[in-house]
Chains A and B, each alone.
Chain A
Amino acid sequence: MNVGQVFREERGRLLATLVKRFGDLDLAEEVTSDAIEAALKHWPVDGVPDRPGAWLLTTARRKAVDRLRRDQVHAARLALLQVEVDRADPPAGDGLPDERLELFFTCAHPALAEEDRGALTLRCLAGFTTPEVARAYLVPVTTMQQRIVRAKKKIKEARIPFRVPDPHELPERLPGVLQAVYSIFTEGYAAQRDDLADEAIRLARILQDLLPDREVTGLLALMLLIHARRDARAELLEDQDRALWDRDMIDEGSALAERALTGGYGPYGVQAAINALHDEAPDFDSTDWPQIVALYDVLGKLAPSPVVALNRAAAIAMRDGAETGLALLDALAGEPRLRDYHPYRAARADLLHRLGRDAEAAEAYREAIALAGTESEQDFLRRRLTAVEEQS
Chain B
Amino acid sequence: MKYMLLIYAAADQQPTCTVADWIAYEKEMRDAGVLVSGHSLADLVTATTVQVGQDGKRTVTDGPFAETREVLGGYDVIDVPDLDAALEWAAKCPGSRDGGAVVVRPIAEFDF
Closest A residue to B87 by CB, please name it. Answer: A111
A160 within 8 A of B: yes
Contact call B82/A161, Cβ cutoff below 8 A: yes
Contact call B83/A160, Cβ cutoff below 8 A: yes
Chain A residues whose CB sits within 8 angstroms of the CB of B106 once the complex forms: 157-159
Chain B 64-112 interface residues, beta-carbon cutoff 8 Å to A: 81-84, 87, 104, 106, 111
How many chain B residues touch the partner (CB < 8 A)? 9
Chain B 41-73 interface residues, beta-carbon cutoff 8 Å to A: none
B36 within 8 A of A: no
A66 to B86, CA, bound (A): 34
A73 within 8 A of B: yes
Chain A residues whose CB sits within 8 angstroms of the CB of B81 once the complex forms: 159, 161
Min CB distance, A218 to chain B, in Å? 26
A233 to B106, CA, bound (A): 48
A163 within 8 A of B: yes
Contact call A158/B83, Cβ cutoff below 8 A: yes
Chain B residues whose CB sits within 8 angstroms of the CB of A73 once the complex forms: 111
A51 to B18, CA, bound (A): 62
Min CB distance, B112 to chain A, in Å? 11
Contact call B111/A160, Cβ cutoff below 8 A: no
- Residue interface mask A3-15, B partner, CB < 8 A = 1: 0000000000000
Chain A residues whose CB sits within 8 angstroms of the CB of B82 once the complex forms: 159-161
B24 within 8 A of A: no
B1 within 8 A of A: yes
A158 to B1, CA, bound (A): 9
A163 to B81, CA, bound (A): 12
Chain A residues whose CB sits within 8 angstroms of the CB of B83 once the complex forms: 109, 111, 158-161
A109 to B84, CA, bound (A): 9
Chain B residues whose CB sits within 8 angstroms of the CB of A165 once the complex forms: 84
Chain B residues whose CB sits within 8 angstroms of the CB of A160 once the complex forms: 82-84
A165 to B87, CA, bound (A): 13
Min CB distance, B50 to chain A, in Å? 30
Chain A 173-220 interface residues, beta-carbon cutoff 8 Å to B: none
Contact call B111/A159, Cβ cutoff below 8 A: no
Contact call A163/B111, Cβ cutoff below 8 A: no
> For B83, B84, B87, which residue has the most chain A Cβ atoms within 10 angstroms?
B84
A111 to B81, CA, bound (A): 16
Closest B residue to A74 by CB, please name it. Answer: B111
* Residue ranges of B at the interface with A (Cβ–Cβ < 8 Å): 1, 81-84, 87, 104, 106, 111
Q: Which 4 interchain pairs have the tightest Cβ spacing?
A: A161-B82, A159-B82, A158-B106, A160-B83
| CB<8 Å pairs between A and B, sample of 22 | A73-B111, A109-B83, A111-B83, A111-B87, A157-B106, A158-B83, A158-B104, A158-B106, A159-B1, A159-B81, A159-B82, A159-B83, A159-B106, A160-B82, A160-B83, A160-B84, A161-B81, A161-B82, A161-B83, A161-B84, A163-B84, A165-B84
* Residue ranges of A at the interface with B (Cβ–Cβ < 8 Å): 73, 109, 111, 157-161, 163, 165
Add 19 more A-B contacts to A157-B106, A161-B81, A161-B83 (CB < 8 A).
Answer: A73-B111, A109-B83, A111-B83, A111-B87, A158-B83, A158-B104, A158-B106, A159-B1, A159-B81, A159-B82, A159-B83, A159-B106, A160-B82, A160-B83, A160-B84, A161-B82, A161-B84, A163-B84, A165-B84
